[in-house]
Structure 1
Amino acid sequence: MKAAVFDKNGIENLKVLDIEKPVPASGEALVKVASAAINPIDDRVINKVDFGGKPHIPGAEVAGVVEEVGDSVKGFSKGDHVIVYPRKFDGTCDMCLAGNEMLCRNGGIFGLATDGGFREYIAVPEANLIKVPEDMNMELAASIPVAALTAYHALAMARLSAGETLYVVGASGNTGMFAVQLGKIQGAHVVAISGKKWLGDFGADTVVDGEALKAETSKPDFKKANVVVHSIGSKEWDRSMSLLDLNGRLVLFGALTGQDVALNVQDLYARQISIVGSTGGSKKEITELVKMAKNLKVRVWKRFPLEKIVEAFEAEHSEERDGRVMLTF
């Protein structure tokens, strides 16, 4: 079978090779990959994680069809459409027992702590498999494990309620497009900070770019945010903080534009602002998302076969990117 493999850092070192097709162990299922998404996690794994020269397969977001099951697998059978819960977890630590598998003390991210899904077949522990309806679009399915789940968990951490105002920074990004949709489903008034007008079709009540927003914030009747989703790192940090109303909550994940920010502590406590970190999501949340998926959609900008995976990463980094970049199989 074919797989994308690298043994030293750098996208230029990512090669599509013929490797041995895996055989599922007793508690595993063999999944034929149907769709995979390019994600910043993969970028970091390929460019920054040192695997000591050992060949590694990236790929955090995967959907496919069960091809074969191991002897002790009870909940899945050949032909099931599935996604992969993207966290290795032991199920026994205090975090797992509390339903926070994404924080497992002995776990890690799928595609980083384990080989990932940029390959034709993958053997997956039964505990990491989630069934999806057979009529679900596989590109949407592949976007649920990271992009949608990260947004869903973040809104839960921010305690978003119906009737509140939600601002989404980076609204046209992989997670942003799902934060917009999920915020609307949860009854919020959603403001997408972006120049992409298609976000109106994804549930945004208002779509406003940075320059227009600057003008809006100077108006006396400007409506501030109860919740701001901030997923891009240090860029736009000050703006995100300034958008918050009294008792507002800023929920953050991702650091694409930098990890360090300036924080005015006096402003923080005077306005009683909460800053909430969020990562991934739980197995319970991903199953909830699957049930909601008929109300979700994904915007795909470009598709590439596995053999052109380097071009797919180049597209992911393009300033012209206007939606997700997906791998087809």
Structure 2
Amino acid sequence: MYALVFNKNGMENLKYTEYKDPSVNDNEVLIKVRIAGVNLVDYFTVVSMNVNPIPHIPGVEFAGEVIKTGKNVKSVKEGDKVTIYGRIFDGNCDMCMMGYETLCRNGGRIGVNTTGGFAEYVSIEEKYVFKLPENYSWELGSSMTVAALTAYHALKEAQLRLSDTLVVFGASGNTGMFLVQLGKKFGAKVIAVSRKQWLTDFGADMIVGYEDVYEKVKDFTNGKMADVIINSLGKEFWDKSFSVVGVKGKIVTFGTLTGAEIKLNLNQLYNKHISILGTNRGNRKDFLELLDVCRDCKVRTWKKYSLENGIEALNSLSANDRDGRIFIVV
């Protein structure tokens, strides 16, 4: 088969090349990859992360068709359209026992700690493979693993409630577009911090720019400010995030794109009873719920690349005019 492969870190070392066909043991599923979502984690997998195995195929988010199953596999069959739960877990540690596979003490990530989906075929243990509901597009199916699950888990952990006001920074990004849609499904009023007007079609009640977010949120909430803030962008927008959270509000973060080190005003934190919450991906229970909840979710696609041009797809993550998701079509 053909795949994107590297022997050591660095984009200059990523090649489109032939790679050995994956084998299938009794508990595994062989998937013909149809489409893969491109994420920043894929870029960092190539340039800086410790990975396994070497040579390595990246790709943490993908969907495809079942080609073959091991003799013990029961949940899917040949021809099924599937996606994957991307967190590796052992099922035995205290976090797994609590239902938090995403925090498994001995866990990892498919595409980082195992072979990923930037390939024609991939073999994966059955417990990570989930059949897609009817009418799922390939683009939506391949967005469940990271973009949608990260958003859904964050909103659940924040305990977003009916009629809450949710403010999403980076609302047009991979996770942002799902935060907007899922926030509406939770029954919240959603303010998208972005310059992209197409977010109204994704359910945003209001779209505001970064420069006047405080004034707009204050007017929208009659001075109460927001109940839940999602800031997946990091340091550069921390002060703006903190400025719009209301009494007993929550700030949720799962990204540090613009930096990780921030200054915190403890007086404001405790006087307003603000909670700061870190989240990461999601649990298998979340994933099952999400596959049902997100049947009518939308995905905005910016560009699609062939597997042969997958290196260009990764490099395009930094494009200033990026406006939607990037996919590799296999």
Q: TM-score, normalised by structure 1?
A: 0.97
Separation in 1, partners of 2:218, 2:68: 60
Corresponding position of 1:109: 109
* 1:72 counterpart = 2:58: no
Corresponding position of 1:227: 228
SS in 1 for 2:294: helix
Corresponding position of 2:312: 311
Separation in 2, partners of 1:46, 1:66: 27
User: 2:36–2:62: 8 Å Cα contact kept in structure 1?
Assistant: yes
SS in 1 for 2:235: coil
Q: What is the letter of the counterpart of residue 288 of structure 1?
A: E
SS in 2 for 1:133: coil
RMSD: 1.5
Distance 1:99 1:307, change over 3 A: same
Alpha-carbon offset, residue 51 of structure 1 = 4.4
User: 1:10–1:46: 8 Å Cα contact kept in structure 2?
Assistant: yes
Alpha-carbon offset, residue 215 of structure 1 = 4.5
Q: What is the letter of the counterpart of residue 225 of structure 1?
A: A
SS in 2 for 1:210: coil
Alpha-carbon offset, residue 134 of structure 1 = 4.4
* 1:252 counterpart = 2:253: yes
* 1:289 counterpart = 2:290: yes
Q: How do 1:73-222 residues align onto structure 2 when only pairs under 5 Å count?
A: 73-216=73-216, 221-222=222-223
Offset from partner CA, 1:273-317 (integer Å, 9 cap, x none): 000000010111111111122221110100000100111112211
Offset from partner CA, 1:76-98 (integer Å, 9 cap, x none): 11011111110111111111111
Separation in 1, partners of 2:40, 2:210: 23
Q: What is the letter of the counterpart of residue 48 of structure 2?
A: K
Separation in 1, partners of 2:53, 2:92: 31
Deviates more, 1:174-183 or 1:261-270: 261-270
Alpha-carbon offset, residue 217 of structure 1 = 5.7
User: 1:147–1:175: 8 Å Cα contact kept in structure 2?
Assistant: yes
Give aligned-pair identity as a percent: 46
Alpha-carbon offset, residue 11 of structure 1 = 1.8
User: 2:218–2:244: 8 Å Cα contact kept in structure 1?
Assistant: no
What stretches of structure 2 of length at least 5 have no aligned partner?
none
User: 1:7–1:13: 8 Å Cα contact kept in structure 2?
Assistant: yes
What stretches of structure 1 of length at least 5 have no aligned partner?
none
Q: How do 1:253-292 residues align onto structure 2 when only pairs under 5 Å count?
A: 253-292=254-293
User: 2:171–2:192: 8 Å Cα contact kept in structure 1?
Assistant: yes
Offset from partner CA, 1:236-264 (integer Å, 9 cap, x none): 00000110000000111011111111111
Separation in 2, partners of 1:304, 1:149: 24
Q: What is the letter of the counterpart of residue 159 of structure 2?
A: R
Q: TM-score, normalised by structure 2?
A: 0.96
